[in-house]
Amino acid sequence: MAATRHSGLECLRIISIILIVSMHILGNTFHTSNLLNKEFILFVNTLGNTGVTLFILISGYFGIRFNTHKFFKMLVVVWFYSIVSYLIETIWLHTPHTWTGLASSLIPILSKKYWFMTCYVVLYCFSPYLNRLVQNLSQKSYEQLLLLWGFFFIFAPTILFFEIQNDTGKGIINVTLAYLIGQYLKVYGLPENMKRHSWDILSGSLAGIFILNSLLTAMSGNIILRFARDNNLLIIIASIMVFYQFTRWHFSSRIINYLAGYVFALYMLQGLLIHCLQPWYIPYANSNLLVLYFMGTLVSICLTTLVIEWSRRLLLGKIENKLADAMERRGAKIKMFTDNH
30 CB burial (10 A radius; 0-12, 13-18, 19+): middle
Indicate whether 278 belongs to any domain: yes
Indicate whether 341 belongs to any domain: no
Indicate whether 1 belongs to any domain: no
Q: Domain total for the chain?
A: 1
Question: How far is Cα 114 from Cα 117, in angstroms, rounded to an integer?
Answer: 6
pLDDT at 240: 98
Indicate whether 327 belongs to any domain: yes
Question: Per-residue DSSP letters for 75-91?
Answer: HHHHHHHHHHHHHHHHH
pLDDT at 340: 45
pLDDT at 341: 41
Indicate whether 77 belongs to any domain: yes
Closest CA to 11 of 228, 247, 183: 247
Indicate whether 97 belongs to any domain: yes
Cα Rg, the chain, nearest whole Å? 21
Does position 5 have pLDDT exceeding 80, yes or no? Answer: no
- This model's pTM is above 0.85: yes
Does position 250 have pLDDT exceeding 70, yes or no? Answer: yes
Q: What would the pLDDT profile of 42-83 be if each residue is shown by its tens digit? A: 999 999 999 999 999 999 999 999 999 999 999 999 999 999
Range of the domain at 81: 7-336
Indicate whether 319 belongs to any domain: yes
Indicate whether 188 belongs to any domain: yes
Q: How many residues does the chain have?
A: 341
Confidence band (pLDDT; 50, 70, 90) for 332? low
